Structure 1
């Protein structure tokens, strides 16, 4: 699996361009981020709420990589961190998070959430 972040507003996964936030599961499955869950509760999708994060805890993983966006606006709420206690958590601006994801993929089971805009 090859992931690239060519810039603000898009991410490329195995040659396919996505212009919205995505989740990549350890199995390689890609789906749209369900950011409306966090937005409904907090008025913004820049806070990763536990209710939203639970939606992605479908597969066993060792590392959670969160691409926080071009400017780093997305963050895990403290309650969300509690859901992944005991797991390695990497939060970086999306460009750096993609690089880290690519380094880890194949070595560890990685769950990734990428915010592609701000």
Structure 2
């Protein structure tokens, strides 16, 4: 179980995710108990369709996340693969799939209550 809280998202706008403790905003962000980093879709070959893959969320769980928030973009163009939702369900992870603005709000609420991770997509 993670002992540290995930950092808060202080603001989000088109193409920019500002995270507490990080001087530069991210375009897309991975957040997890104890830290955050840029989310580079090229690492796993992610694209809008078919969407977020199990490999994209595994790192969040490796950092101790027990809840995961997946942001689909401001216009919900980023899909989530069925395999990803099945993987999170098998791991007993509480998952929330929302548009970016609602995802940021939900993540900031959850991060103070339980070990939480998020994938935040800041454009479409």
* TM more than 0.5: yes
CA distance in 1 between counterparts of 2:12 and 2:58 reads 29
Q: Please identify runs of 4+ aligned residues in structure 1 that moved more than 4 A.
A: none
Q: After TM superposition, list the pairs within 5 Å mapping 1:80-91 onto structure 2.
A: 80-85=84-89, 86-91=92-97
Q: CA deviation at 1:17?
A: 4.3
Q: After TM superposition, list the pairs within 5 Å mapping 1:29-44 onto structure 2.
A: 29-36=35-42, 37-39=44-46, 44=47
TM-score, normalised to structure 2, is 0.79
Matched, 1:93 2:99: yes
1:20 paired residue number: 27
TM-score, normalised to structure 1, is 0.82
Q: Structure 1: any 5+ residue segments left out of the alignment? A: none
CA distance in 2 between counterparts of 1:50 and 1:6 reads 24
Q: Tell me the number of residue pairs that the alignment of Structure 1 and Structure 2 aligns.
A: 113
CA contact 2:48–2:79 (8 Å) conserved in 1? no
Q: After TM superposition, list the pairs within 5 Å mapping 1:1-118 onto structure 2.
A: 1-14=7-20, 16-27=23-34, 29-36=35-42, 37-39=44-46, 44-46=47-49, 47-85=51-89, 86-118=92-124
How large is the RMSD of aligned CA atoms in angstroms?
1.9
Q: Structure 2: any 5+ residue segments left out of the alignment? A: 1-6
